[in-house]
Amino acid sequence: MTQDFTEKQLNSRLVYSGKMLQVREDVVSLPSGHEATREYVVHPGASVIVPLFEDGTVLVERQFRYPVKEHMLELPAGKIDEKEDPAIAARRELLEETGYKATRWDFIGSLMPCIGYSDELIYAYLARDLTYCKQQLDDEEFLETSKVSMGVLLQQSLNAQIQDAKTIIALLWAEQFLKKSV
């Protein structure tokens, strides 16, 4: 598989800029030479964390996600701040959202959740040797955490009971990472 289908940017316009989301509209030249418009979300990237305890449980969150109007089971995750290292963002988000610090970190892969209309890249980490400090949720964040066995979460990921893409993938990559490092 070797054809070059690269689309070249002819111009780019910021067409929406909210508090959280930015959308661009680019005119591109297609491989055929014709022009087309591409609309997409500009995203700073995110980190997702699999916080694994020695007893084989994983810390998960339950929170209401307004776009999908549901309470969702998720791994801790959050956006990378400007110029922040994804590994630092992971440490910061884990502490802010759950109150935990980890001393053992492994990068387990990066995924793209929405390649059709977002440039978001999510870095996934396995976090071990966890100790509780203090949760630091911001004013607009409401969530509860709980510990669930890794085995149960993996089953729920494979059985389509968990629906959040980053959570499914990070759990499966964490398991794969652990298998390899035995």
Q: Does 147 bind a second copy (CB under 8 A)?
A: no
Sheet with 46-51, side-by-side order of all strands: 77-79, 46-51, 122-132
Among 48, 75, 111, 127, binds a second copy (CB under 8 A): 111
Q: Does 176 bind a second copy (CB under 8 A)?
A: yes
Among 56, 64, 85, 133, binds a second copy (CB under 8 A): 64
User: Given the complex with a second copy, which of 103 and 181 has the nearer CB atom?
Assistant: 181
Least Å distance, CB 51 to a second copy, is 16
Among 45, 72, 87, 106, binds a second copy (CB under 8 A): 72
Among 10, 88, 152, 158, binds a second copy (CB under 8 A): 158
d(CA 51, CA 148) in angstroms, rounded, equals: 11
Q: Does 109 bind a second copy (CB under 8 A)?
A: yes
Q: Tell me the two tokens of residue 125.
A: 């980490």
Query: Residue 56, exposed/middle/buried by CB under 10 A (0-12, 13-18, 19+)?
Result: exposed
Among 10, 88, 112, 133, binds a second copy (CB under 8 A): 112
Query: Residue 128, exposed/middle/buried by CB under 10 A (0-12, 13-18, 19+)?
Result: middle
Q: Does 91 bind a second copy (CB under 8 A)?
A: no
d(CA 62, CA 69) in angstroms, rounded, equals: 13
Instruction: Count other Cβ atoms within 10 Å, centred on residue 120.
Output: 20
Least Å distance, CB 131 to a second copy, is 23
